[in-house]
A and B are shown apart, each in its own frame.
Chain A
Amino acid sequence: AQKVTQAQTEISVVEKEDVTLDCVYETRDTTYYLFWYKQPPSGELVFLIRRNSFDEQNEISGRYSWNFQKSTSSFNFTITASQVVDSAVYFCALRNAGGTSYGKLTFGQGTILTVHP
């Protein structure tokens, strides 16, 4: 069985603050993928990043950065200098690589981020 836990249900920050969204996962597979998605008020999920279990290199994309630590089964997401447009629900998700589970995602419960001007 696999599980994704996002500890923070809601986070509220003021614009320009840095904010970190936590994600902890459980899986028995040795090869898997981790994802972050953003859900703006319009409803669709927007893909942000995919990380393979065999690549622990952290990644930075503009104001977004991701810290993958296999030893603690965590895949945290940091937004630097937050902006009002970052307000959304953010989901962490896990997919195993083998068997018949191709493409099936297990989602965390989501973190509602509100950035105030």
Chain B
Amino acid sequence: DGGITQSPKYLFRKEGQNVTLSCEQNLNHDAMYWYRQDPGQGLRLIYYSQIVNDFQKGDIAEGYSVSREKKESFPLTVTSAQKNPTAFYLCASSLLARTATMNTEAFFGQGTRLTVV
């Protein structure tokens, strides 16, 4: 089945640890995104990538890092510099709009819930 797979579903991090969240898609989408969801705040963009080996910071990139070595994969590392990492993390992908009218709705994974212990 085509879709986006995020793993793990639940992740626990100790203070000062880096952790990596996995995101894989088999939709042949060019663009991939990481969002963070906090209660009552909607989703905020952390990083996005429109092409392999290139990515841009979103609105809340501090304390996070990403890589895009393959089209299918866009892992997110939550570093020890992220002071409040407890949140629900959603990965998404979409086609890259090459015209203004192109259909590019984002498809989302099932999320990873990260908790600091």
Contacts and interface: CB of A to CB of B under 8 A. Distances in A.
Interface residues of A, number: 27
B77 interface: no
A108 B40 CA distance: 10
Contacts of B96: 102-103
Contact of B33 (A4, A35, A47, A103): A103
B51 to A, nearest CB: 11
* Chain A interface, DSSP helix/strand/loop, else mixed: loop
Contacts of A95: 104
Contacts of A37: 108
Nearest to A37: B108
Interface string B79-117: 000000000101010111100110111111111010000
A44 B105 contact: no
B53 interface: no
Interface residues of B, number: 32
Contacts of B45: 104-105
Contacts of B97: 97, 102-103
A91 interface: yes
Interface in A73-117: 91, 95, 97-98, 100, 102-105, 107-110
B100 to A, nearest CB: 4
Nearest to B112: A43
Nearest to A10: B40
Given A91-B43, A109-B40, A44 B100 contact: no
Interface of A: 4, 9, 31, 33, 35, 37, 42-47, 50, 52, 91, 95, 97-98, 100, 102-105, 107-110
28 contacts: A4-B42, A35-B105, A43-B90, A43-B110, A43-B111, A43-B113, A44-B108, A44-B109, A44-B110, A45-B90, A45-B92, A45-B108, A46-B108, A47-B106, A47-B107, A91-B43, A98-B100, A100-B56, A102-B50, A102-B97, A103-B31, A103-B33, A103-B50, A103-B95, A103-B106, A105-B106, A109-B40, A109-B42
